[in-house]
Structure formats: C-alpha cells, structure tokens
C-alpha cells in the first residue's frame, strides 16, 4: 500500500522534476517548458541529454551534479535546476555550475580559437530570492554579462534565468500564456485530482500521463515516496522556522507598542506582518490566529 494519496507526482520533488524534465522519453516536455520560458528569445527544436555529473580537471576536486543538463540542436548548453530552499551562496553555486559547460567546450589540440557556444543556467526557485539586483514585482529575472556604464551586453554567451516560482499566485482563471500554465503545473500538479480542460493539449496530455502515480513500478513508487518525504521534511523545517520568526517578530512588535502605549502602532505592526504572511501564501485562518486581525481586514491588505 502506497503512502501518498495524490494522483499525480509533485514536480517540486527531486524525483518528480527529473522524471518529467530529465528523461529522454519526456524531452518534448522540457523543450516546451524552455521555449515558454524564453518566449521567442530562444527557440529549441531538439535536445540531447548530457552527463549531469561533473568533476573538476583533477578527480579529487569538488563535483557538480545538475538536475538536468542538455544541449540543443546548435550545441548550446542548458543547465536546469530546481532549488527548494534558500542557500546563502546560491548565486555563487550557479556561477560555479556554469564553468563546467564552458570548460568542456575546449577542444584538444593547438587550433582551438576559444569560440564558445551559449551556456544557459535556468534556476527555478521555490522561495523568494529577494535579491537587491532584482525587480521586486517580477518573477522571471534575466542576468547576463553587461558593461556597468553603458548597460550593453559585453558577451552574450552566458545567461542566467532565475525564476521565483514561489511568487506565482495566479489561479486557473488567470492563466494566459503557456509559461503561466507551466508555472501553475510546477506549483500545483500534485494537488489536482484530474487533468483540467485548460491544461489539455498534446504536451500537457503527455505530462499528466507521465506524472500519474498509478502507472509507477514498485521501484519508482518507492523512489518517489523517498523523494517526497525529503521534500516535505525540508518544507516543514522552513515553514516552522518562518512561523517562529513571524511569531517572535509579532510578539516583540506588540510588546514594544504596549510599552509605549501605542495601540495604533500595534495595529500597524500586525497589518505589516499579516501582509507579509499573505504574500507568502499562508492561509487566512493562520494569519487571523497569529495577528488578531479579522478576515475582512486581511482581505483588504
């Protein structure tokens, strides 16, 4: 008897992400997702999966293991990563990862002219990165090598795409683009009981078929449940830490307000915290319990 009750896998798990985007039978799904992300900037017709495990020039050097690593029909390289938890030096890690597909392009012999194929690093972030270089009201961030004075592209052979999927809050009635649909699926696939009409086409039909848990072998089911447990452990730890931080901040803010006899300050602080909790997708009943605000007050934020 399986442990999970869901009909479809979660694409936020390591197993689910690699099953859908990292296997040859499902390469059309990866192509469609990447084309929706690049939105005409890059049009991919074919991908070839490459070895996702790399070591430095010396075997004893640190390894880099990519979630998905492939190249298109022009030899351009794509690293696609799912990151579920905040990491202090994640930007450094993504830069480090980019060095492997750059270095491996060096041809043996004396006649190489150092011409490189484009390298793309696509990082899907299941948290709000909140980097000072990013626009706060944008989900999709496009990073490249620019001249700091002219802001013109210095070299177009290295591109980083950071996508804050945790900030995607659209419901099914608000899905306009194909990229909207992919982000919705990334966030919500495991919560769906059936394939909805707005996600019915050749690509998504294949996705839902590949993601249906009932079709898994015993080995695949065990691997998925292990991956799901690891994902839930991470999220539970993060949610607990966040809740404790919010509770502590609220208590300190209200205590300070009472000490100063500022009832208006208490309410302002509660509204600020409620607004942050709401933007992070925390349920209204939890916000009400933590802040003391009414459902109507929270809805107006």
pLDDT at 42 over 80: yes
Q: What is the DSSP pairing of strand 77-83 with strand 68-72?
A: antiparallel
- Cβ atoms of 14 and 82 within 8 Å: the answer is yes
Q: How confident is the model at residue 164 (pLDDT cuts 50, 70, 90)?
A: very high
Question: What six digits make up the tokens of 243?
Answer: 């809740």
Q: Which residue has the tokens 């000072």?
A: 132
**What average pLDDT does the segment 71-91 reach?**
92
Single pTM value for the model: 0.76
Tell me which residue of 282, 250, 274 sits closest to 169, measured CA to CA: 282
∠62-67-73 over CA atoms, to 5°? 110
Return the percentage of the chain with pLDDT > 70, whole number: 81
Q: How confident is the model at residue 111 (pLDDT cuts 50, 70, 90)?
A: confident
∠71-74-80 over CA atoms, to 5°? 25
Would you state the pLDDT for residue 13?
A: 94
Question: Which of 55-64, 141-150, 262-271 bottoms out in mean pLDDT, i.e. has the lowest?
Answer: 55-64
pLDDT at 140 over 70: yes
Tell me which residue of 1, 20, 68, 25 sits closest to 225, measured CA to CA: 1
Residues facing residue 284 across a β-bridge: none
């Amino acid at each position: 008897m399986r442990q999970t009750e869901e009909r479809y896998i979660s694409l936020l798990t390591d197993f689910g992400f690699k099953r859908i985007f990292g296997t040859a039978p499902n390469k059309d799904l990866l192509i469609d997702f990447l084309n929706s992300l690049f939105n005409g900037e890059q049009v991919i017709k074919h991908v070839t999966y490459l070895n996702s495990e790399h070591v430095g020039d010396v075997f004893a050097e640190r390894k880099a293991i990519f979630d998905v690593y492939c190249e298109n029909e022009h030899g351009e390289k794509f690293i696609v990563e799912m990151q579920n938890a905040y990491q202090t030096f994640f930007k450094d890690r993504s830069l480090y990862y980019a060095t492997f597909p750059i270095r491996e392009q060096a041809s043996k012999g004396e006649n190489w002219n150092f011409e490189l194929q484009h390298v793309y690093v696509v990082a899907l972030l299941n948290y709000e990165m909140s980097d000072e270089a990013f626009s706060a009201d944008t989900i999709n961030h496009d990073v490249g090598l620019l001249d700091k004075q002219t802001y013109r592209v210095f070299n177009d052979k290295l591109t980083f795409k950071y996508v804050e999927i945790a900030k995607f809050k659209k419901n099914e009635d608000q899905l306009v683009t194909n990229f909207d649909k992919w982000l919705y699926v990334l966030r919500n696939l495991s919560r769906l009981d059936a394939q909805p009409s707005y996600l019915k086409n050749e690509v998504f039909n294949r996705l839902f078929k590949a993601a249906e848990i009932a079709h898994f072998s015993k080995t695949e089911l065990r691997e998925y449940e292990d991956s799901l447990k690891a994902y839930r452990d991470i999220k539970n730890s993060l949610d607990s830490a966040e809740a404790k931080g919010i509770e502590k901040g609220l208590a300190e803010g209200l205590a300070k307000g009472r000490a100063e006899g500022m009832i208006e300050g208490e309410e302002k602080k509660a509204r600020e915290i409620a607004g942050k909790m709401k933007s992070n997708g925390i349920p209204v009943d939890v916000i009400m319990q933590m802040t003391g605000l009414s459902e109507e007050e929270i809805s107006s934020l």
